[in-house]
Amino acid sequence: MNDAVTVNVFEKLVELQQEFSYFKENYLLVNKRYADSLVTLTGLTVSAKGAALRAAAAAQLALVATSKALEAVKNASDHNLADAVRAAADAAWAAAEAATESAAAAAESASVCAAAVAQHAEEISLQASAQAAQAALSAAAAASDAVAMSRKAGAIALSHGPAAKK
């Protein structure tokens, strides 16, 4: 009976050893996939931050373009150049639209960064998310200013158009 118990104990030990090996292999596989996911997620977060910063820069440039178009509208309206006024107002509108699209792109990038942070609160993800959010705020402010200038340019164009002369 002693030999049967010993054999049974050894069989159980072998079975436990096999299960342990199985769990170890699975752990190593899951750990590798997790590490690979973190590398990918970090790359996506950094890319999204870069996109947000570029979108914010584009919104700032659109704001400058809108400002210049508004200036052109004012200058042209002083000389009753109706076509130039309309063209400059259209340019201001297009620049404001570009700024709005840039703000939307920056917000979307900030959203991707926030999702990355939610997935894994890694320091680089936190920093990238904060920077992308700041870029989105900057782009939104530039878009808002560009839209306001575009409205001013449109009002000036309307006040100096052919209908205003009647």
Q: C-alpha 118: how far from its chain's center?
A: 15
In a domain, 23, yes or no: no
Structure tokens at 107: 């917000």
Q: C-alpha 153: how far from its chain's center?
A: 29
Q: How many CA atoms lie within 13 A of 79 on its CB side?
A: 9
In a domain, 31, yes or no: no
Q: Which residue stretches of the chain have pLDDT < 70?
A: 1, 80, 113, 115-126, 128-129, 158, 160-166
Residues in Cβ contact with 159 at an 8 Å cutoff, skipping those fewer than 6 apart: 77
Taking each continuous run of H as one helix and of E as one strand, the counts in the chain are 4, 0
- Full-model pTM: 0.53
pLDDT at 32: 86
Residue 140 structural domain = 39-165
pLDDT at 120: 64
Report the domain count for the chain. Answer: 1
In a domain, 140, yes or no: yes
In a domain, 22, yes or no: no
